[in-house]
Structure 1
Protein backbone atom coordinates (compact mmCIF):
# COMPACT_ATOMS: atom_id res chain seq x y z
CA UNK A 1 0.00 0.00 0.00
CA UNK A 2 1.38 3.40 -0.99
CA UNK A 3 0.80 6.25 1.48
CA UNK A 4 2.42 9.53 2.40
CA UNK A 5 3.99 12.57 0.77
CA UNK A 6 7.63 12.84 -0.27
CA UNK A 7 9.62 15.61 -1.94
CA UNK A 8 12.40 14.26 -4.17
CA UNK A 9 14.15 16.37 -6.79
CA UNK A 10 14.42 15.63 -10.49
CA UNK A 11 18.07 15.69 -11.55
CA UNK A 12 19.48 17.17 -14.77
CA UNK A 13 19.21 13.78 -16.51
CA UNK A 14 15.49 13.47 -15.74
CA UNK A 15 16.01 10.94 -12.95
CA UNK A 16 13.88 10.86 -9.83
CA UNK A 17 14.78 8.99 -6.66
CA UNK A 18 11.82 7.01 -5.39
CA UNK A 19 11.12 7.08 -1.65
CA UNK A 20 13.04 4.27 0.05
CA UNK A 21 9.92 2.84 1.71
CA UNK A 22 8.41 2.03 -1.73
CA UNK A 23 11.46 0.51 -3.40
CA UNK A 24 10.80 -3.11 -2.44
CA UNK A 25 7.27 -2.95 -3.88
CA UNK A 26 8.63 -1.48 -7.13
CA UNK A 27 11.87 -3.48 -7.45
CA UNK A 28 10.29 -5.93 -9.91
CA UNK A 29 9.54 -3.14 -12.34
CA UNK A 30 7.06 -0.35 -12.65
CA UNK A 31 5.02 1.50 -15.21
CA UNK A 32 4.93 5.29 -15.40
CA UNK A 33 1.98 6.76 -17.25
CA UNK A 34 0.02 9.97 -17.66
CA UNK A 35 -2.45 10.37 -14.83
CA UNK A 36 -5.37 12.70 -14.42
CA UNK A 37 -4.84 16.34 -13.39
CA UNK A 38 -1.42 16.50 -15.10
CA UNK A 39 0.40 14.24 -12.71
CA UNK A 40 2.10 10.93 -13.46
CA UNK A 41 0.93 7.59 -12.12
CA UNK A 42 3.48 4.98 -11.07
CA UNK A 43 2.12 1.44 -10.83
CA UNK A 44 3.92 -1.75 -9.83
CA UNK A 45 4.14 -3.78 -13.02
CA UNK A 46 1.67 -6.46 -11.81
CA UNK A 47 -0.90 -3.82 -10.78
CA UNK A 48 -0.60 -2.12 -14.17
CA UNK A 49 -0.98 -5.43 -16.01
CA UNK A 50 -4.21 -6.16 -14.09
CA UNK A 51 -5.56 -2.74 -14.97
CA UNK A 52 -4.43 -3.06 -18.60
CA UNK A 53 -6.33 -6.34 -18.99
CA UNK A 54 -9.52 -4.61 -17.82
CA UNK A 55 -8.97 -1.66 -20.15
CA UNK A 56 -8.17 -3.99 -23.06
CA UNK A 57 -11.40 -5.93 -22.44
CA UNK A 58 -13.55 -2.85 -23.07
CA UNK A 59 -15.37 -2.85 -26.43
CA UNK A 60 -13.25 -1.48 -29.30
CA UNK A 61 -16.45 -0.40 -31.03
CA UNK A 62 -16.73 2.43 -28.48
CA UNK A 63 -14.83 5.52 -29.65
CA UNK A 64 -14.16 6.72 -26.08
CA UNK A 65 -12.66 3.32 -25.21
CA UNK A 66 -10.31 3.45 -28.20
CA UNK A 67 -9.24 6.99 -27.35
CA UNK A 68 -8.61 6.09 -23.70
CA UNK A 69 -6.62 2.98 -24.63
CA UNK A 70 -4.47 4.92 -27.07
CA UNK A 71 -3.79 7.71 -24.63
CA UNK A 72 -3.03 5.38 -21.74
CA UNK A 73 -0.86 2.84 -23.50
CA UNK A 74 1.01 5.23 -25.80
CA UNK A 75 1.90 7.38 -22.79
CA UNK A 76 3.26 4.56 -20.63
CA UNK A 77 6.94 3.89 -19.97
CA UNK A 78 8.31 0.78 -18.30
CA UNK A 79 11.08 1.38 -15.79
CA UNK A 80 13.18 -0.60 -13.34
CA UNK A 81 14.71 1.41 -10.48
CA UNK A 82 18.52 1.45 -10.44
CA UNK A 83 20.59 0.52 -7.38
CA UNK A 84 19.95 3.94 -5.84
CA UNK A 85 16.18 3.71 -6.36
CA UNK A 86 16.14 6.14 -9.30
CA UNK A 87 13.96 6.01 -12.37
CA UNK A 88 14.31 8.08 -15.51
CA UNK A 89 11.16 10.00 -16.34
CA UNK A 90 10.75 10.17 -20.11
CA UNK A 91 10.82 13.69 -21.62
CA UNK A 92 7.22 13.43 -22.90
CA UNK A 93 6.00 12.45 -19.42
CA UNK A 94 8.00 15.27 -17.82
CA UNK A 95 6.41 17.74 -20.26
CA UNK A 96 2.91 16.39 -19.60
CA UNK A 97 3.28 16.77 -15.82
CA UNK A 98 5.23 20.02 -16.03
CA UNK A 99 8.03 18.52 -13.95
CA UNK A 100 10.93 20.83 -13.26
CA UNK A 101 13.30 20.20 -10.37
CA UNK A 102 11.12 20.13 -7.26
CA UNK A 103 8.66 17.24 -7.26
CA UNK A 104 6.17 15.69 -4.89
CA UNK A 105 5.53 11.94 -4.80
CA UNK A 106 2.33 10.95 -3.05
CA UNK A 107 1.08 7.52 -2.14
CA UNK A 108 -2.40 6.82 -3.51
CA UNK A 109 -3.03 3.28 -2.19
CA UNK A 110 -2.40 1.24 -5.38
CA UNK A 111 -0.11 3.72 -7.11
CA UNK A 112 2.24 6.61 -6.61
CA UNK A 113 1.60 9.99 -8.18
CA UNK A 114 4.41 12.29 -9.26
CA UNK A 115 3.57 15.99 -9.26
CA UNK A 116 5.46 19.19 -9.93
CA UNK A 117 5.75 20.72 -6.44
CA UNK A 118 4.03 24.00 -7.39
CA UNK A 119 1.25 22.17 -9.26
CA UNK A 120 0.65 19.94 -6.21
CA UNK A 121 0.37 22.94 -3.89
CA UNK A 122 -2.03 24.64 -6.31
CA UNK A 123 -4.11 21.44 -6.48
CA UNK A 124 -4.27 21.25 -2.67
CA UNK A 125 -5.22 24.91 -2.37
CA UNK A 126 -7.98 24.59 -4.97
CA UNK A 127 -9.44 21.35 -3.61
CA UNK A 128 -9.14 21.68 0.15
CA UNK A 129 -12.84 22.44 0.63
CA UNK A 130 -13.81 19.60 -1.71
CA UNK A 131 -12.18 17.05 0.61
CA UNK A 132 -14.80 17.24 3.34
CA UNK A 133 -17.65 17.26 0.82
CA UNK A 134 -16.23 14.31 -1.11
CA UNK A 135 -16.03 12.21 2.05
CA UNK A 136 -19.82 11.97 2.13
CA UNK A 137 -19.93 10.83 -1.50
CA UNK A 138 -17.04 8.37 -1.24
CA UNK A 139 -17.82 6.96 2.21
CA UNK A 140 -21.38 7.87 3.18
CA UNK A 141 -22.06 7.34 6.87
CA UNK A 142 -18.56 6.02 7.68
CA UNK A 143 -17.11 9.01 9.57
Structure 2
Protein backbone atom coordinates (compact mmCIF):
# COMPACT_ATOMS: atom_id res chain seq x y z
CA UNK A 1 0.00 0.00 0.00
CA UNK A 2 1.30 3.43 -0.93
CA UNK A 3 0.88 6.15 1.72
CA UNK A 4 2.41 9.53 2.52
CA UNK A 5 3.58 12.71 0.82
CA UNK A 6 7.08 13.29 -0.58
CA UNK A 7 8.73 16.21 -2.38
CA UNK A 8 11.34 15.01 -4.89
CA UNK A 9 12.79 17.28 -7.57
CA UNK A 10 12.56 16.71 -11.30
CA UNK A 11 16.05 16.97 -12.75
CA UNK A 12 17.06 18.66 -16.01
CA UNK A 13 16.78 15.34 -17.88
CA UNK A 14 13.18 14.80 -16.76
CA UNK A 15 14.06 12.18 -14.14
CA UNK A 16 12.34 11.87 -10.80
CA UNK A 17 13.67 9.96 -7.79
CA UNK A 18 11.01 7.74 -6.29
CA UNK A 19 10.64 7.69 -2.51
CA UNK A 20 12.95 4.99 -1.11
CA UNK A 21 10.19 3.23 0.81
CA UNK A 22 8.36 2.40 -2.46
CA UNK A 23 11.28 1.19 -4.54
CA UNK A 24 10.98 -2.49 -3.66
CA UNK A 25 7.30 -2.51 -4.67
CA UNK A 26 8.18 -0.87 -7.99
CA UNK A 27 11.45 -2.68 -8.75
CA UNK A 28 9.73 -5.12 -11.13
CA UNK A 29 8.62 -2.30 -13.36
CA UNK A 30 5.97 0.36 -13.26
CA UNK A 31 3.57 2.15 -15.52
CA UNK A 32 3.28 5.94 -15.59
CA UNK A 33 0.05 7.24 -17.07
CA UNK A 34 -2.11 10.33 -17.22
CA UNK A 35 -4.31 10.54 -14.17
CA UNK A 36 -7.38 12.58 -13.45
CA UNK A 37 -6.96 16.18 -12.23
CA UNK A 38 -3.78 16.62 -14.33
CA UNK A 39 -1.52 14.49 -12.20
CA UNK A 40 0.32 11.31 -13.19
CA UNK A 41 -0.51 7.88 -11.86
CA UNK A 42 2.28 5.39 -11.15
CA UNK A 43 1.16 1.78 -10.89
CA UNK A 44 3.26 -1.29 -10.19
CA UNK A 45 3.20 -3.26 -13.44
CA UNK A 46 1.03 -6.06 -11.98
CA UNK A 47 -1.54 -3.59 -10.62
CA UNK A 48 -1.71 -1.78 -13.96
CA UNK A 49 -2.21 -5.06 -15.79
CA UNK A 50 -5.19 -5.91 -13.55
CA UNK A 51 -6.74 -2.50 -14.22
CA UNK A 52 -5.94 -2.66 -17.95
CA UNK A 53 -7.61 -6.05 -18.21
CA UNK A 54 -10.83 -4.60 -16.78
CA UNK A 55 -10.65 -1.60 -19.12
CA UNK A 56 -10.01 -3.88 -22.10
CA UNK A 57 -13.09 -5.99 -21.22
CA UNK A 58 -15.40 -2.99 -21.54
CA UNK A 59 -17.42 -3.00 -24.77
CA UNK A 60 -15.39 -1.12 -27.37
CA UNK A 61 -18.60 -0.56 -29.33
CA UNK A 62 -19.30 2.21 -26.80
CA UNK A 63 -17.76 5.52 -27.92
CA UNK A 64 -16.86 6.63 -24.37
CA UNK A 65 -15.11 3.31 -23.72
CA UNK A 66 -13.06 3.60 -26.91
CA UNK A 67 -12.06 7.15 -26.03
CA UNK A 68 -11.03 6.16 -22.51
CA UNK A 69 -9.08 3.13 -23.74
CA UNK A 70 -7.24 5.21 -26.33
CA UNK A 71 -6.39 7.96 -23.88
CA UNK A 72 -5.26 5.56 -21.16
CA UNK A 73 -3.16 3.18 -23.26
CA UNK A 74 -1.66 5.79 -25.59
CA UNK A 75 -0.66 7.92 -22.60
CA UNK A 76 1.09 5.17 -20.63
CA UNK A 77 4.84 4.70 -20.39
CA UNK A 78 6.57 1.65 -18.90
CA UNK A 79 9.57 2.41 -16.71
CA UNK A 80 12.14 0.53 -14.64
CA UNK A 81 13.81 2.54 -11.86
CA UNK A 82 17.57 2.90 -12.22
CA UNK A 83 20.07 2.14 -9.44
CA UNK A 84 19.26 5.42 -7.68
CA UNK A 85 15.50 4.84 -7.87
CA UNK A 86 14.98 7.35 -10.69
CA UNK A 87 12.46 7.10 -13.49
CA UNK A 88 12.28 9.21 -16.65
CA UNK A 89 9.04 11.09 -17.11
CA UNK A 90 8.22 11.35 -20.83
CA UNK A 91 7.92 14.92 -22.17
CA UNK A 92 4.21 14.48 -23.04
CA UNK A 93 3.46 13.26 -19.51
CA UNK A 94 5.43 16.16 -18.00
CA UNK A 95 3.45 18.57 -20.17
CA UNK A 96 0.10 17.00 -19.26
CA UNK A 97 0.82 17.26 -15.52
CA UNK A 98 2.51 20.68 -15.81
CA UNK A 99 5.54 19.33 -13.99
CA UNK A 100 8.27 21.78 -13.06
CA UNK A 101 11.32 21.13 -10.92
CA UNK A 102 9.34 20.99 -7.66
CA UNK A 103 7.11 17.91 -7.52
CA UNK A 104 4.99 16.11 -4.97
CA UNK A 105 4.58 12.34 -4.90
CA UNK A 106 1.66 11.08 -2.87
CA UNK A 107 0.71 7.57 -1.91
CA UNK A 108 -2.85 6.79 -3.02
CA UNK A 109 -3.33 3.19 -1.85
CA UNK A 110 -2.74 1.10 -5.01
CA UNK A 111 -0.82 3.79 -6.88
CA UNK A 112 1.40 6.81 -6.51
CA UNK A 113 0.43 10.18 -7.91
CA UNK A 114 2.96 12.70 -9.20
CA UNK A 115 1.91 16.34 -9.04
CA UNK A 116 3.56 19.64 -9.77
CA UNK A 117 4.04 21.14 -6.29
CA UNK A 118 2.04 24.31 -7.04
CA UNK A 119 -0.80 22.29 -8.61
CA UNK A 120 -0.93 19.98 -5.58
CA UNK A 121 -1.16 22.95 -3.22
CA UNK A 122 -3.98 24.46 -5.30
CA UNK A 123 -5.79 21.10 -5.24
CA UNK A 124 -5.46 20.90 -1.46
CA UNK A 125 -6.68 24.47 -1.03
CA UNK A 126 -9.72 23.86 -3.26
CA UNK A 127 -10.72 20.49 -1.77
CA UNK A 128 -9.78 20.66 1.89
CA UNK A 129 -13.25 21.67 3.09
CA UNK A 130 -14.99 18.97 1.06
CA UNK A 131 -12.86 16.19 2.58
CA UNK A 132 -15.03 15.85 5.71
CA UNK A 133 -18.24 16.01 3.68
CA UNK A 134 -17.06 13.36 1.21
CA UNK A 135 -16.38 10.89 4.00
CA UNK A 136 -20.06 9.99 4.27
CA UNK A 137 -20.38 9.51 0.51
CA UNK A 138 -17.23 7.40 0.21
CA UNK A 139 -17.56 5.41 3.45
CA UNK A 140 -21.18 5.63 4.68
CA UNK A 141 -21.62 4.51 8.25
CA UNK A 142 -17.92 3.90 8.90
CA UNK A 143 -17.36 6.84 11.26
Q: TM-score range by the shorter chain?
A: over 0.9
> What stretches of structure 1 move > 4 A for 4+ residues in a row?
none
Q: Give 3-state SS (helix, strand or coil) of 1:51's partner.
A: helix
TM-score normalised by structure 1 residue count? 1.00
Which residue number corresponds to residue 127 of structure 1?
A: 127
CA offset at residue 88 of structure 1? 0.2
Deviation at 1:141, TM superposition (A): 1.4
Q: Distance in 2 between matches of 1:130 and 1:107?
A: 20
How many residues were matched structurally?
143
Residue in structure 2 matched with residue 36 of structure 1 by the alignment: 36
TM alignment of 1:1-143, pairs within 5 A? 1-143=1-143
Considering only aligned residues, what root-mean-square deviation do their CA atoms show, in Å? Answer: 0.3
Give TM-score scaled by structure 2 length. Answer: 1.00
Structure 1, gaps ≥5 residues long: none
The 1-side partners of 2:126 and 2:107 are apart by 20
SS at match of 2:107: strand
CA deviation profile, 1:43-69 (whole Å, cap 9, x unmatched):
000000000000000001100000000
